[in-house]
Structure 1
Amino acid sequence: MAISAEELGTEDIKKLLMKQALPASIGILFMSVNILIDTIFVGQWIGSLAIAAVTVVLPITFLISSLGMAIGVGGGSVLSRALGAKDREKAKTTFANQIMMTFILASLFVLLGIFFSTEMLLLFGAKGAIIAPAAEFFSPIILSVPFLALCMMGNNIIRAEGKAKFAMVAMIIPAFVNIILDIIFIKTMGLGMFGAALATSISYFMCFLFVLWFFVYKSELKLKARHFKLHLPILKEITELSFVTFSRQGVIAVLAIILNHTLYSYGGEHSIAVYGIISRMLMFALFPILGITQGFIPIAGYNYGAQNFGRVKESIQISIKYAALLASLIFVVILYYATPIVTIFTTDPKVIAETPNALRWVFAASPIIAIQLIGAAYFQAAGKAKKALMLTLSKQGFFLIPLVLILPNFFGIFGVWVAFPIADVLSTILTGYFLKKEMNTKLIKTTDGIL
């Protein structure tokens, strides 16, 4: 499946997209399966309140650990260009600075999480009967977040080195470890929420050990003590490029806070459990569309840089077509099998009664989301940071958050669920407008004669 950079500009777009999208899809699949099975285990073996507790806690841990992902993405760009320019010293200094940034910032946020755990849980929506299991889950897992942050940062650097298979293994390891330990700690030993947190924490640490092993024994970036010196120009460059990624995660965290508080106000604890199931299904069911989006970016970016605008346009059209087809098939499955899907997660009659229709509404606009995802990814690939940021944040930041704040005042809990497809439609229209304008102006020129 490995390809050379030159092939991005010459090989058939359909074949290229398959080669690029498949590894990305497999990695996302394992990550989403891990979260999905984890939710099933806590729902079936502990109860629906456990799903609600996990739904409250995970956005906190992912927000902190996303610092690592943002630093990995931003620094990975700096590092890749340094490697391409044969400047290995800059590449190594960049990597060392990424390690220091990630560890320091993640540890700082973890300390805040430890000292202000109650306030943080309340902020993210832990209310009523959710508080106790959320606190039990939060205490062990917060200590493992620096390891998760370093894993997310390191994974991007592994990809930047061109070692995609190792990056994939780094995502697979925590999935297997977490599932096995869930069975031992929750089912066999009866440790409840603490066991679930312990299993998750150990899985993060095992991922960290694999990433550490890679950089010690397999990486081309052999670091020396001299590289571990804060380099302000490199730090500035990493920070600027990391901003888009961390902004997106920040908006997702704000959305989680608003959703959890709104759901509790209008539906109580079980409505947060309902959303916990839906959010896991969103990640799991849409993994092939997200994989196509990830596979599309290097193809579009390379050909845009080479001014092969005809190939860029072709890659946009093919990616949207394939992603829309898959998204439509996924929606059909959700439409007809929503109830059986929900019963896999829980036996709580209230949750089973509410979740299927909510799931259908949240997925209602999924056949058109390919335009929004591919469109935003195009502007990222083309290096148009402002438009990429605006369109990436458009669904959650511009539309979904205001709709979740407004619609429940008129429609109750139904207003929360219907906000999702409305936000999808509005963000797709916005992205489609800018994408069509770009394709009719910028992408009409080409150096290879293909339109």
Structure 2
Amino acid sequence: MKEQSQRLGKEPIRSLLFKLSVPAMIGMLVMAFYNVVDTLFIARGVGILGVAGVSISFPVMMVIMAIAAAVGIGGASVISRRLGENRQEDANYVLGNIVIMILAVSSISFIGGFTFLEPILKAFGATEDILPYAKDYLFPIMIGSFFFGLAFTSNNIIRSEGNSRFAMITMIFPAVLNIILDPIFIFWLDMGVQGASLATVISQASVSLVVIRYFVVGKSSLSVGLEYMKARFDLMKEVIVVGFPAFVRQVGGSAMMIAINYMLIQYGGDFEVGVFGIVQKVSMMAIMPMIGVLQGMQPIVGYNYGAQQYDRLKETIFLGLKVATIISAVVFVVMFAVPEYLMMIFTGEERTIETGAHAMRIMFALAILIGAQLISGGLYQALGMARKALVLSIARQVLFLIPLVLILPRLFDLGVTGVWLAFPVSDLLAFILSVTFLYQDRALFFKSKKDQVAGEQSVQPS
């Protein structure tokens, strides 16, 4: 096992979390920045209908990313615990079976691009005006879904073995390349939203080649080869079970987008859908640093849980919660104080700026609670406790946000404001649920080495 993996159980937690989280945060911020720039180019070069087309397409993309998330995050959890248990051979087989699953799923997406693309977009709320833009954007994405799956999945796996620096590179490289290609395809070649989509696919294909080389030349703690590419359904099942909460969370996000777009069209129109497309990109930028902390924390949690080093586990959890809460407090201040300036990045239209700023202030009214929600859900995933990870993963978006989005606009004639108001209410409810779960499992988080036997009997991965 390489030193990059062994340090997960030896290096001081503060410095280790810093070294793993900061590259993840930088990578996530660069990716979020590319999403912002992507939307900016579409808004400036195509218009608000182009942004609306991307917004309608996003739920389909989220389903693709959901599958990659399930395989990648589930595989990363299994691999980090196998490395902590010093089961190198098993970890290699996990990687091989992950590749098999990516190939199978991307084949279905490829076929879907030629067969049921338009019916899906119409079912997801595309109007006659938005449909052409949505089709142009989504078709290349579905054709090139293999590259998305491989890049997204491998990033989690590389981080699970402790190589946060290279994991950061695999996020920054495609984002920078995408930013360079966007204006070329959108403006110079006059390809509109399809140009933005092609730039994204080419960027993900490029980083996929970099990732393949990383595993083939032996820079990874894991070994890749045909001998490990034999289907083992026991490992596939474990990866899917642990990664299922991530899948549900992403699919829940897709369902949330469908519900929001539907209600915005019903109580507003195509304009409101376009505004939400911009607000959503800003929201992604805001939440990425917290996800970076979570991604840096998960391999430390998984490794030390597998190695039964419970003091290090406890220290990691509390430090992660503290840092994520500080970041979420900063997000709250920024979103409440200067949302107009954030909207001005994308457009100079006064109506769009005013509507977007109004939406942001309401949506982020309880943003300070977001950090604890993210950390708690990711914590249970890293521990392999799939049931609780599943509940926390679907709580905000599926259990709370979607029903509230469908109900609040109808109450007291709130209309579109009711859609925005659903966000802080769901944040509060999800936070209460997260704190409840963490309190119930406080014995695990405070467990010491002498409690090992009792803990293994009372707390087992689901």
* TM score, norm. by length of structure 2: 0.88
Question: Residue 125 of structure 1 aligns with which residue?
Answer: 125
Question: Residue 335 of structure 2 aligns with which residue?
Answer: 334
> Would the aligned equivalents of 2:27 and 2:171 in 1 still touch at CA under 8 Å?
yes
d(CA) in 1 for partners of 2:419 and 2:302? 37
d(CA) in 2 for partners of 1:165 and 1:276? 31
Alpha-carbon distance, 1:112 to partner: 2.3
d(CA) in 2 for partners of 1:304 and 1:208? 31
In the alignment, is residue 108 of structure 1 matched against residue 108 of structure 2?
A: yes
Alpha-carbon distance, 1:148 to partner: 0.9
Alpha-carbon distance, 1:124 to partner: 2.1
Rate the CA distance shift 1:7–1:192 in 2: closer, same or farther, 3 A: closer
Question: Residue 214 of structure 1 aligns with which residue?
Answer: 214
**Superposition map of 1:225-236 within 5 A:** 225-236=226-237
d(CA) in 2 for partners of 1:385 and 1:318? 23
1:438 aligned to which of 404, 419, 441: 441
What's the CA shift string for 1:175-200, capped at 9, x where partnerless?
Answer: 11111111111122222122112212
Question: Residue 291 of structure 2 aligns with which residue?
Answer: 290
d(CA) in 2 for partners of 1:298 and 1:323? 17
Alpha-carbon distance, 1:22 to partner: 0.8
d(CA) in 2 for partners of 1:237 and 1:445? 25
d(CA) in 2 for partners of 1:91 and 1:303? 16
d(CA) in 1 for partners of 2:346 and 2:177? 20
Question: Residue 187 of structure 1 aligns with which residue?
Answer: 187
Question: Residue 374 of structure 1 aligns with which residue?
Answer: 375
Question: Residue 136 of structure 1 aligns with which residue?
Answer: 136
What's the CA shift string for 1:57-90, capped at 9, x where partnerless?
Answer: 1331231143233212223344445555665554
Question: Residue 39 of structure 1 aligns with which residue?
Answer: 39
Q: Which amino acid aligns with 2:434?
A: T
The percentage of aligned residue pairs carrying the same residue is 38
d(CA) in 2 for partners of 1:417 and 1:6? 46
d(CA) in 1 for partners of 2:315 and 2:76? 27
Rate the CA distance shift 1:17–1:150 in 2: closer, same or farther, 3 A: closer
- Aligned residue pair count: 447
Rate the CA distance shift 1:162–1:372 in 2: closer, same or farther, 3 A: closer
Q: Which amino acid aligns with 1:112?
A: G
> Would the aligned equivalents of 1:309 and 1:444 in 2 still touch at CA under 8 Å?
yes
**Superposition map of 1:19-418 within 5 A:** 19-83=19-83, 89-220=89-220, 221=222, 223-304=224-305, 312-410=313-411, 411-418=414-421
d(CA) in 2 for partners of 1:442 and 1:85? 19
d(CA) in 1 for partners of 2:291 and 2:369? 14
Rate the CA distance shift 1:29–1:140 in 2: closer, same or farther, 3 A: same
Rate the CA distance shift 1:19–1:107 in 2: closer, same or farther, 3 A: same
Q: Which amino acid aligns with 2:47?
A: G
Alpha-carbon distance, 1:52 to partner: 1.0
Q: Which amino acid aligns with 2:407?
A: I
What's the CA shift string for 1:223-281, capped at 9, x where partnerless?
Answer: 44444332333333333233222122111111111111111111111111111112111
> Would the aligned equivalents of 1:128 and 1:269 in 2 still touch at CA under 8 Å?
no
> Would the aligned equivalents of 2:113 and 2:139 in 1 still touch at CA under 8 Å?
no
**Long gaps (5+) in structure 1:** none
**Long gaps (5+) in structure 2:** 452-462
> Would the aligned equivalents of 2:246 and 2:393 in 1 still touch at CA under 8 Å?
no
* TM score, norm. by length of structure 1: 0.90
d(CA) in 1 for partners of 2:179 and 2:158? 25
What's the CA shift string for 1:78-110, capped at 9, x where partnerless?
Answer: 444555566555444332322121111121133
Q: Which amino acid aligns with 1:416?
A: V
Rate the CA distance shift 1:332–1:283 in 2: closer, same or farther, 3 A: same
Between stretches 89-98 and 334-343, larger displacement belongs to 89-98
d(CA) in 2 for partners of 1:158 and 1:310? 25
Alpha-carbon distance, 1:208 to partner: 1.6
d(CA) in 2 for partners of 1:320 and 1:216? 36
Q: Which amino acid aligns with 1:59?
A: P
d(CA) in 1 for partners of 2:366 and 2:281? 17
Alpha-carbon distance, 1:19 to partner: 2.3
Q: Which amino acid aligns with 1:438?
A: D
Between stretches 294-303 and 103-112, larger displacement belongs to 294-303
The SS at the match of 1:37 is: helix
The SS at the match of 1:383 is: coil
Between stretches 116-125 and 317-326, larger displacement belongs to 317-326
Q: Which amino acid aligns with 2:439?
A: K
Between stretches 155-164 and 57-66, larger displacement belongs to 155-164
Between stretches 49-58 and 16-25, larger displacement belongs to 16-25
Q: Which amino acid aligns with 1:378?
A: L
Rate the CA distance shift 1:288–1:445 in 2: closer, same or farther, 3 A: same
d(CA) in 2 for partners of 1:80 and 1:306? 10
Computed over aligned residues only, the root mean square deviation of the Cα atoms, in angstroms, reads 2.6
d(CA) in 2 for partners of 1:327 and 1:70? 25
Rate the CA distance shift 1:134–1:170 in 2: closer, same or farther, 3 A: same
Q: Which amino acid aligns with 1:407?
A: L
2:429 aligned to which of 426, 429, 432: 426
Q: Which amino acid aligns with 1:28?
A: M
> Would the aligned equivalents of 1:31 and 1:175 in 2 still touch at CA under 8 Å?
yes
d(CA) in 2 for partners of 1:88 and 1:14? 27
Alpha-carbon distance, 1:311 to partner: 5.0
The SS at the match of 2:129 is: helix
Rate the CA distance shift 1:102–1:299 in 2: closer, same or farther, 3 A: closer
Between stretches 429-438 and 50-59, larger displacement belongs to 429-438
Between stretches 307-316 and 252-261, larger displacement belongs to 307-316
Rate the CA distance shift 1:72–1:409 in 2: closer, same or farther, 3 A: same
